[in-house]
Amino acid sequence: MTKHIFVTGGVVSSLGKGLTSASIGMLLERRGLRVRMQKLDPYINVDPGTMSPYQHGEVYVLDDGSETDLDLGHYERFTNSPLTRDSNWTTGQIYLSVIEKERRGEFLGKTVQVIPHVTDEIKAAIAKLATPDADVVITEIGGTVGDIESQPFLEAIRQFSLDVGRENCMYIHLTLVPYLKAAGELKTKPTQHSVGQMREIGIQPDILICRTERSLSLDDRQKIALFCNVPVECVIEEKDKDFSIYEVPLSLVDHDLDDLIVDRLQIRTDKLELDDWRGLLHGLRNPQHEISIAVVGKYAEHRDAYKSIYESLDHAGMAHHAQVRIQRIQSESVESEGPERLLAGYDGLLVPGGFGERGIEGKVEAIRFAREREIPFFGICLGLQCAVVEFARNVAGLKDANSSEFDRETPHPVICLLDEQRNITNKGGTMRLGAQPCLLVEGSRSRDSYGREEISERHRHRYEFNNTYRQQFAAHGLSVAGSSPDGKLVEIVEMPDHPWYVAVQYHPEFKSKPTAAHPLFSGFVAAAIARRGQRKTTGDNSPEDAARTPDEIPR
């Protein structure tokens, strides 16, 4: 019988429920269990893919092409749970499916209501993951207890334990225990209130995970236990991690969370195996190199807009025993302040994906700078498209070359709309999405990095490299290193004469894990380490040695 764990959150949003859920999944997997992960999001959008990165950070794409919440990225980085479109549901998707059923007459003329119709749909979405090959399904409920939007989800998970038996379900509630400076103490009242709200709707949490800046005393834990009606050993602290998110599972183990879960669910498991993970963190704490990478993007000020890219850089750093300092740079500021001032001194430059015209010229300028100064350059999706535009204008001599996304009248549409996109008007879920095969060219840098000829990577775009210019660009030094098996779509371009210049039409950042860095991120970081070494020997002392803490990504 598959067991179910429901993770809810209280007091405030952004408590790191996704990370905690992923960590729980990882710990259970490392005790030999087969885990499935799922997130239920209370917002009404049917297509998370059309939401601005300012709302919930990056859109995370799965192999099957579904565009999902970024927490699914944590799930994939921490666990091996297979994720599909059944792994992420929004209120909008649940309602859409109820309404479609109603319109097909499936409710036989009954009045369609939140209970039971919407809650049944939610329960069906949860039950769908409980296949015979799944030992545990972990379902994270987005939002905060008390929000109007989350109510149907909470009601559904309450009912769920009646359907499958309370002994097969457990509820883990994440809360905040703030430290009040003026009082000089941790405050447990918000936790009491949020658990109170859970109990009002009929859910008694089994375990409380308390996010806190300071350690909880036994007194604090006893107080929380008493008021929230849980045994004191089930009040667990999760202290803020300012070093690395990959420490979270280890700190949960220190508080015996894995034991508590398997005891409560009565599952027999293997011994916890974490040596490799501890090794990763040891390497991270004792780096042999340090490099600085500039990520030049439109949403650079938003911490989560390129989440998977930042994580992938970290994974590559771990693989090379390097500390990767990441500087987020707003592409528009490259336009106003110039690349010399903002970009000199980095060991590598990465231009991520994006949509819309804002900041494009800054990206093009940044890429020109990396090309001319021989700084390792990695372009991803829109990053490839901007690299092609830059090359066309400044190397191939095609004045005013552009992507037709930004200039419909350009005389040289070096990036143009994919054929399949020409008649599409609906925005949601209609791009070229998900895993696509790609063949790598013998002798290319990418082929060497991957170590094989055929790869599969995830896509999310409407525009493509315009094949009309393929020969012309090759003659000037920009070659195609990977394309779709029919040869029609360019997936990778490289400059063989540059120390490391690779741009890809897909999103490699969705397939990197801390335990298995992505080959291209790994190659990029290795090239950045080499450049740093060179600069040390030539005594090139550049602004990157200056402190630049404010925008740096905390590890």
> And the tokens for 418?
């994919």
- In the complex, minimum distance from the CB of residue 39 to ligand GLN, in angstroms, rounded to a whole number: 22
Q: Verify whether residue 332 is a known catalytic residue.
A: no
- In the complex, minimum distance from the CB of residue 381 to ligand GLN, in angstroms, rounded to a whole number: 3
Helix, strand, coil % over all residues of the chain, rounded to 5:
40, 20, 35
Select 63 or 237, whichever has its Cβ closest to ligand GLN: 63
CA end-to-end span of the chain, whole Å?
Answer: 39
Q: Which residue is nearest to ligand GLN (CB)?
A: 353
Query: Of 381, 386, 416, 438, which residue is the catalytic one?
Result: 381
Give the distance, in angstroms, between the CA of residue 94 and the centroid of all CA atoms in the same chain: 23
- In the complex, minimum distance from the CB of residue 353 to ligand GLN, in angstroms, rounded to a whole number: 3
- In the complex, minimum distance from the CB of residue 432 to ligand GLN, in angstroms, rounded to a whole number: 8
Query: Of 74, 498, 507, 518, which residue is the catalytic one?
Result: 507
Strand runs labelled E in 15-151: 35-41, 60-61, 67-68, 88-90, 136-141
Q: Count Cβ atoms within 10 A of the Cβ of residue 258 and give its class: 0-12 exposed, 13-18 middle, 19 or more buried.
A: buried
Q: In angstroms, what CA-CA distances link 15 with 9, 58, 187, 195, 208?
A: 7, 17, 16, 15, 13
Paired residues of 179 in beta bridges: 186
Q: Are 40 and 128 in contact (CB under 8 A)?
A: no
- What DSSP letter does each residue of 18-37 carry, written as one string? HHHHHHHHHHHHTTT--EEE
Per CB under 6 A, residues contacting ligand GLN are 353-355, 381-382, 385, 405, 460-463
Spatial separation of the C-alpha atoms in residues 172 and 21, rounded to whole Å: 9
- In the complex, minimum distance from the CB of residue 376 to ligand GLN, in angstroms, rounded to a whole number: 20
- In the complex, minimum distance from the CB of residue 6 to ligand GLN, in angstroms, rounded to a whole number: 33
Q: Verify whether residue 233 is a known catalytic residue.
A: no
Select 55 or 542, whichever has its Cβ closest to ligand GLN: 55
- In the complex, minimum distance from the CB of residue 21 to ligand GLN, in angstroms, rounded to a whole number: 26
Select 341 or 427, whichever has its Cβ closest to ligand GLN: 427
Q: Order the strands of the 289-297 sheet from edge to edge.
A: 322-330, 289-297, 348-351, 377-380, 501-504, 490-494, 479-483, 432-440, 454-461
Spatial separation of the C-alpha atoms in residues 516 and 521, rounded to whole Å: 11
- In the complex, minimum distance from the CB of residue 406 to ligand GLN, in angstroms, rounded to a whole number: 9
Residue 4's φ and ψ, nearest 5 degrees, are -125, 135
Q: Which of 5, 80, 4, 90 is nearest to 39 (CA)?
A: 90
Q: Verify whether residue 386 is a known catalytic residue.
A: no
Spatial separation of the C-alpha atoms in residues 419 and 466, rounded to whole Å: 11
- What DSSP letter does each residue of 361-372 carry, written as one string? HHHHHHHHHHHH
Residue 291's φ and ψ, nearest 5 degrees, are -130, 160
- In the complex, minimum distance from the CB of residue 338 to ligand GLN, in angstroms, rounded to a whole number: 24
Tell me the residue type at 398.
L
Select 354 or 482, whichever has its Cβ closest to ligand GLN: 354
- In the complex, minimum distance from the CB of residue 525 to ligand GLN, in angstroms, rounded to a whole number: 21
Angle between helix 307-319 and helix 519-538 axes, rounded to 10 deg: 70
Return the residue matching tokens 């109510």: 151
Select 51 or 164, whichever has its Cβ closest to ligand GLN: 51
Select 317 or 354, whichever has its Cβ closest to ligand GLN: 354
Query: Of 238, 405, 509, 544, which residue is the catalytic one?
Result: 509
Give the distance, in angstroms, between the CA of residue 483 and the centroid of all CA atoms in the same chain: 25
Residue 426's φ and ψ, nearest 5 degrees, are -75, 130
Q: In angstroms, what CA-CA distances link 85 with 128, 140, 209, 223, 460?
A: 11, 15, 28, 41, 15
> Quick one: CA torsion of 190, 193, 198, 199, rounded to 10 degrees?
140
Tell me the residue type at 70.
L
Instruction: Give catalytic residues, as residue numbers.
Output: 381, 507, 509
